[in-house]
Amino acid sequence: MNWENKIISEEQNQTARFAKAMSHPIRLYVLDLLAKQTCCYSGDLSEILPIAKSTLSQHLKELKNAGLIQGEIEPPKVKYCLNMENWKLAQKLFKNFLKL
């Protein structure tokens, strides 16, 4: 998954990567929440969402790997926020893609 065969542009590959990060309801929910309020703790999410905390942790890791969120350690908790730089990039890419 990452055609550098010139047919699919790097912009399209990046858009697809972001879309993939958004393609699971749990992850979309987390992003949606972080876009509304500034930050949240992993524990807050764990209480609300009907999944094991190990599963949640994996989803958060994927969002981090996609560059859409970042976690700040506040022992013993972890505070998650959007990675604003990449969130703005995602806004730009989807705006272009969807012709908004």
Partner DNA sequence: AATTTAGTTCGCAAATTTACGAACAATATT
Partner DNA sequence: AATATTGTTCGTAAATTTGCGAACTAAATT
Residue 95 contacts which entry, a copy of itself, DNA, none (Cβ below 5-8 A, type-dependent) = a copy of itself
The one among 9, 12, 55, 96 contacting DNA by CB under 7 A: 55
70 binds, among a copy of itself, DNA, none (CB under 5 to 8 A by kind): none
Q: How many residues make up the chain in this entry? A: 100
Q: Single out the residue of 77, 88, 92, 95 in contact with DNA (rule: CB under 7 A).
A: 77
- 41 in contact with a copy of itself (CB under 8 A): no
